[in-house]
Amino acid sequence: MNYSPLQKARYEYQPKLPLILQNDINNIEVCYGNATQSVADQDKIKEMFPNTYGMKTISFKKGSSKAKKDGQVVGVILSGGQAPGGHNVITGLYDALKKSNPNNVLLGFKGGPSGLLDDDYIEFTDEFINEYRNTGGFDIIGSGRTKLETVEQFKVVAEVAKKHSLNAIVIIGGDDSNTNAAVLAEYMAATNSGVQVIGCPKTIDGDLKNDVIEVSFGFDTACKTYSELIGNIERDANSAKKYWHFIKVMGRSASHIALECALECQPNICLVGEEVEAKNQSMMDIVKYIADVVEARSAKGLNYGVAIVPEGLIEFIPEVKVLIAEINELLAVHEKDYAVLGTWEDQFNFVISNLTSNSAAVFKNLPVDIQHQLLMDRDPHGNVQVSRIETEKLLITMVAKELKDRGSKAKFSALNHFFGYEGRCAFPSNFDADYCYSLGYNAFLLISNGLTGYMSTVTNLSAGPSNWEAGGIPITKMMNLERRHGEFKPVIRKALVELDGKPFKYFEAHRKEWAENTCFTFPGAIQYYGPAEVCDITTRTLAIEQGN
Ligand code: FBP
């Protein structure tokens, strides 16, 4: 294999650990904090997780370790969408495990949760793992979106674990995948299988977040990658002065990525799904707002601009949200009836006749492409696949029509972009390389201390690795009940953009100025080498949240 100069250089990078994890593993002592409760639906979640509910928070201090260091056989999976840094979680876990005892074993199950069901695995060796240090992607073992939820599946996992004498499984994933981790941990505890389950918080979307998970890994690198591209487009727009660029960025539900890119690039418009929902803004309200900005800039001779559109916006627009919920329910309940419909006309009529009159009217008014996209298969967790709905094109069409209806003289020549997959496998930024390595290393400490049903946590993240703190949080603490596939299920609550949070408030205070004038900022490409204030900075969101 040929390596790029950067890949060769990144192999030499030594990720930084929090000070506590730099101690000899024998000198790291586990500390138990307060007992926890789920964020909502406490009684029901407690009933569903009798063995893993209410556990204490975990931190570590220098002291004498009672951890089990030998005979550790750990399995690991990558689950869900790719996020930069996943390889470093595995290398951190591997290094801690081998440091503890070189005879300890790490198995990587391939292709996500299905690797555990199919017993498709590799045993990591130094030679193999070294090829993946500090690199992007999930290709070390691959990923997948299979949901582990049935007792039959758990039994298979337990058999596979028994076959390999696994004492722990680490699930590296987002909110849905860590929901899988919690359910699996409960099953393993209830059946006295002796298998511990530990989660690691991954997702570029940044919506796996709470008081102890300050950010999910991959968010930093993905946002920096998108922001570089958005900044470049801003400079192009400012040079040519003839196009409006509508840029959809990933983030299946929450608008954290869009907001972070806006904070980094200061575009003319950034829509925030959570605000749209809170203010009950209809599709036409959004279109009118954009048209107003286009006209205001045009009046100053600025017939160009950049608008950031979060991928999840469509699900926050009240009338579309109701429509999607009705379609989800319909497709879940009438799955078989719908599957046999052969033509688009039959599908269209079936959907229209089963929707409420309001939703049927909304559906009929959407362009045919969007209608098709709203009916596409759900992902295995029951989510509509928003990355495949072309909201940015829909907005361009509707804004152009609105300007025409107004008899506007504004020139509106618009181009659409979608930045999604290109951000998910970049070489992890120094922040993500360090954070992920620490999460993996820390996961081993949770395992060796006999814990299960926990998520690995590293906190105080804007203060630099030497000030980071390591620990664990019970996954059930983050759970509530949500409607999925037509039933209520226990899931980790998604962290949406908080409209009274400091990052949104900062954006809100500046957006008028950014809309009417041209205040673009150009973050440039991720820098891996050079001054710390360029290379080691984290996101604006985290910096603003933590007052740095
Ligand atoms: P995860 O939540 O699994 O990390 O995935 C996030 C994401 O990148 C979303 O931003 C996007 O909507 C989705 O994955 C795309 O999924 P797929 O890779 O299956 O097309």
**Secondary structure percentages of the chain, helix, strand, coil, to 5:** 45, 15, 35
Question: What was the ipTM of the complex prediction?
Answer: 0.97
In this prediction, residue 121 carries a pLDDT of 98
10 annotated ligand-binding residue: no
Mean pLDDT computed over every residue of the chain: 95
State whether the beta carbon of 250 lies less than 6 angstroms from ligand 1: yes
At residue 418, the pLDDT reads 96
Give the distance (Å) from ligand 1 centre to CA of residue 212.
23
What confidence tens digit (pLDDT) does each residue in 430-461 have? 999 999 999 999 999 999 999 999 999 999 99
| pLDDT tens-place values along the chain, 548 residues long | 789 999 999 999 999 999 999 999 989 999 999 999 999 999 999 999 999 999 999 999 999 988 898 999 999 999 999 999 999 999 999 999 999 999 999 999 999 999 999 999 999 999 999 999 999 999 999 999 988 888 999 999 999 999 999 999 999 999 989 998 999 999 999 999 999 999 999 999 999 999 889 999 999 999 999 999 999 999 999 999 999 999 999 998 899 999 999 999 999 999 999 999 999 999 999 999 999 999 999 999 999 999 999 999 999 999 999 999 899 888 888 888 888 988 999 999 999 999 999 999 999 988 888 899 888 877 766 677 877 889 999 999 999 999 999 999 999 999 999 999 999 999 999 999 999 999 999 999 999 999 999 999 999 998 889 899 999 999 999 999 998 777 888 999 899 999 999 999 999 999 999 999 999 999 999 999 999 999 999 999 999 998 87
Q: Is 387 in the pocket of ligand 1 (CB under 6 A)?
A: yes
Active site residue 119: no
CA distance 16 to 536: 11
Question: How far is Cα 381 from Cα 332, in angstroms, rounded to an integer?
Answer: 11
Domain extents in the chain: 22-218+428-484, 219-311+389-424+500-545, 328-386
Predicted pLDDT of residue 148: 85
pLDDT in tens, 247-259: 999 998 899 999 9
Q: What is the pLDDT of residue 229?
A: 98
The secondary structure of 435-494, three-state, reads HHHHHHHHHHHHHHCCCCCEEEEEECHHHCHHHCEEEEEEHHHHEEEEEECCEEEEEECC
Q: Is 423 part of any known ligand binding site?
A: yes
Q: Which residues contact 532 (CB under 8 A, 6 or more apart)?
A: none
Q: Annotation-wise, does 304 bind a ligand?
A: no
Alpha-carbon span 134 to 436, nearest angstrom = 9
**Ligand 1 pocket residue status of 81, Cβ below 6 Å:** yes
Measured from the Cβ of residue 409, the count of other Cβ atoms closer than 10 Å reads 9
Q: Is 498 annotated as a binding residue?
A: no
Regarding the beta carbon of 252 and ligand 1, being less than 6 Å apart is answered yes
| Protein residue whose Cα sits closest to atom 1 of ligand 1 | 81
Report the relative pairing of strands 168-173 and 73-78 from DSSP bridges.
parallel
Which atom of ligand 1 is the closest one to the Cα of 202?
4
The DSSP bridge pattern shows strands 73-78 and 105-109 to be: parallel
Q: Is 184 in the pocket of ligand 1 (CB under 6 A)?
A: no
List beta partners, residue 53: none
Please work out whether the CB of residue 251 comes within 6 Å of at least one atom of ligand 1: yes
CA-closest residue to ligand 1 atom 19: 81
The answer to whether the annotation marks 533 as part of a ligand binding site is no
- CA–centroid distance, 386 to ligand 1, in Å, is 9
CA angle 156, 162, 168 (to 5 degrees): 95
Contact 289, 397 (CB under 8 A): no
Is residue 151 helix, strand or coil?
helix
Q: How far is the CA of 138 from the centre of ligand 1 (A)?
A: 13
Question: Counting atoms of ligand 1 from 1, which one is nearest the CA of 385?
Answer: 12
For a mutational test of ligand 1's pocket, the pick from 82, 139, 203, i.e. the residue with the most ligand atoms closer than 8 A to its C-beta, is: 203
Class of domain 328-386: mainly alpha
Predicted local confidence at residue 379, as pLDDT? 72
Q: Is the CB of 315 under 6 A from ligand 1?
A: no
How many angstroms does the Cα of residue 517 sit away from the middle of ligand 1? 34
d(CA 174, CA 176): 6
Ligand 1 contact, 84 CB (< 6 A): no
Residue 204 Cβ inside 6 Å of ligand 1? The answer reads yes
Ligand 1 atom at shortest distance from the alpha carbon of 218: 4
Do 219-311+389-424+500-545 and 328-386 have matching folds?
no
At 128-172, the pLDDT tens digits run 999 999 999 999 999 999 888 889 999 999 999 999 999 999 999
- State in Å: Cα 327 to ligand 1 middle: 20
* Residue 86, amino acid: G
Which residues, 6+ apart, have CB-to-CB distance to 285 below 8 Å?
A: 279
What pLDDT, on a 0 to 100 scale, did the predictor assign at position 380? Answer: 65
Exposed / middle / buried, residue 399 (Cβ in 10 Å: 0-12, 13-18, 19+): buried
Ligand 1 within 6 A of CB of 205 = yes
Q: Where are the beta strands (DSSP E) in 66-141?
A: 73-78, 105-109, 121-123
- The reply to whether 540 sits in an annotated binding site is no
d(CA 290, CA 285) in angstroms, rounded, equals 9
Establish whether residue 83 lines the binding site of ligand 1, counting it when its CB lies within 6 angstroms of any ligand atom. yes
Pocket probe mutation, ligand 1, options 205, 373, 386, 424, max atoms within 8 Å of Cβ:
205
Instruction: Report d(CA 89, CA 437) in Å as an integer.
Output: 5
Q: Tell me, what amino acid is at 399?
A: V
Among candidate residues 205, 207, 220, 434, the one labeled active-site is 205
Spatial CA neighbour of 455 closest among 57, 148, 18, 47: 57
Return the C-alpha torsion angle 133, 138, 142, 144, nearest 10: 150
Domain 22-218+428-484 falls under CATH 2.40.10.10 = no
Question: Residue 421 annotated as binding?
Answer: yes
User: What is the spatial distance between Cα 173 and Cα 83, in angstroms, rounded to a whole number?
Assistant: 9
pLDDT at 147: 85
Distance 252 CA to ligand 1 centre (A): 7
- Separation of CA 424 and ligand 1 centre (Å): 9
Nearest to 444 by CA among 93, 16, 89: 93
Q: Which atom of ligand 1 is nearest to the CA of 251?
A: 10
DSSP string, 267-314: -SEE--HHHHHHTT--HHHHHHHHHHHHHHHHHTT---EEEEEETTHH
Give the homologous superfamily in CATH for domain 219-311+389-424+500-545. Phosphofructokinase domain (3.40.50.460)
